[in-house]
Structure 1
Amino acid sequence: MSIREGMPVLTRHEGDWIGTYTLVDLEGNILDKHKSHLTCQFPETGDYAYYQINRYEWADGKREEHQFPGTFRDNKLWFNTERIEGKAWEIDDSTIILWFGYKTMPDMHLYEMIQISPCNNYRARTWHWFKKNQIFRRTLIQEERMK
C-alpha cells in the first residue's frame, strides 16, 4: 500500500502552507512568535514517501530551515533525521497525531495535533511539549494554503 492510499488525510496536506507559530508557557504568556512556510511533498522516486521542508522567519530577521524526510510503514509516517525521531498517524478524516522527540534532548518529547479543514485550505496545529513526562509549554500554529 502506498502512503497516498494508507494516509489519505496526510495526502490532503500536499503543497505549501504559510502561517504563524506562537509558543506559550503554561499560563498563556507568549515566549516566541514567528512566521512559517512549510512544504509537504510526496516524491515519486527516491528513498522517502514523504518530504517536508520547514522555513521559519522571526521579526528580527533570523531564519531557519529544516528538512524532514519520512518513510511509510504500518500505516504510519516515520521520521528519523539528525534532529528528530518520531511518527505520525491519522485518527479520523481531518486529524493527524504526531509524536516526536529531539535527539539532543532525550528527556523531552512532543505531541502534535494537526487538523485540516474540509476545504483543504486551512490547518490548525497544536504542540504539547513534555519534559520528564510533564507538560511545560505549548505551540499554537495557524496556517493557510499558499495560493
Structure 2
Amino acid sequence: MTNTLKQLMPDVLEHEGVWRGTYRHINPQGETLDFHHSQVECVFPASGPVVYIQRNQFTWDDGRVFNVAFDGMIKNDKIYWDTETFKGYGWVASPNIFLLELERKDEPGAWFYESIVMGADKKHRARTWHWFKDGVCFKRTLCDEHLVISSPEGNHK
C-alpha cells in the first residue's frame, strides 16, 4: 500500500481480504437475469505503481467458473482501472461507501455505477451496480458479501 492511498482514501483499505457472496443481475422489472456465487480478493500492495489488485472467481450452479484479475492505480486522486472489459475510477464517498463509475468496453455504450457499502462490523458489505445504455437503466446487479479472510499482514490498520 502506498502512503498516497493511505492518505488519500484510508477507508478503502477496510476492503482488504477475501470476500464471499452472491451476485444477482436483475432487469428493470426485478426479474433475475443471472445468479452466481463469488469470491473476491482485494489486495493493496505495499509498494509500486499498482495500489489495488482485485481477483474474482465466479461460479454458477451448472459448474461454470470464471476467473478475472485487474489492477488499479492512482490517477487524479482516484483509483483508476483500464482493463480489457472496462475502464473508469473509484473514490470514497464517506467512511463506509466506495463509489465507482465504469465504462464497459465489452458492451459499447454501456456504463455502470457501483456503490459498495461496508457494514458497521467491517465483515459484511453490500454492492449495487446500476447499468445504463443510451441514458436508460437496463440492468442492476446486487451483491451481498461477507469477509472470510482479512488481510494477513493487517496493512490497513
Instruction: Normalising by structure 2, report the TM-score.
Output: 0.89
CA RMSD of aligned residues (A): 1.2
Q: List runs of 5+ in structure 1 lacking aligned partners.
A: none
Shift, 1:106, TM fit: 2.4
Work out whether residues 17 and 38 of structure 1, in 8 Å CA contact, stay in contact via their aligned partners in 2: yes
C-alpha distance in 2 between matches for 1:32 and 1:104? 18
Give deviations 1:98-146, integer Å, cap 9, x for gaps. 0111212221000001000122100000000101111011000000000
Residue equivalent to 1:78: 80
Runs of 4+ more than 6 Å apart:
none
Give percent identity, aligned residues only.
35
Shift, 1:74, TM fit: 2.8
Give deviations 1:75-114, integer Å, cap 9, x for gaps. 2110011221010011111101101112122210000010
Question: What is the aligned length?
Answer: 147
Work out whether residues 84 and 106 of structure 2, in 8 Å CA contact, stay in contact via their aligned partners in 1: no
- Residue in structure 1 matching 2:36, options 9, 34, 37: 34
Tell whether 2:11 aligns with 1:9: yes
Q: List runs of 5+ in structure 2 lacking aligned partners.
A: 150-157
Task: Please list, as runs of the form range in 1=range in 2, the aligned pairs for 1:1-147 lying within 5 A after superposition.
Answer: 1-147=3-149
Instruction: Normalising by structure 1, report the TM-score.
Output: 0.95
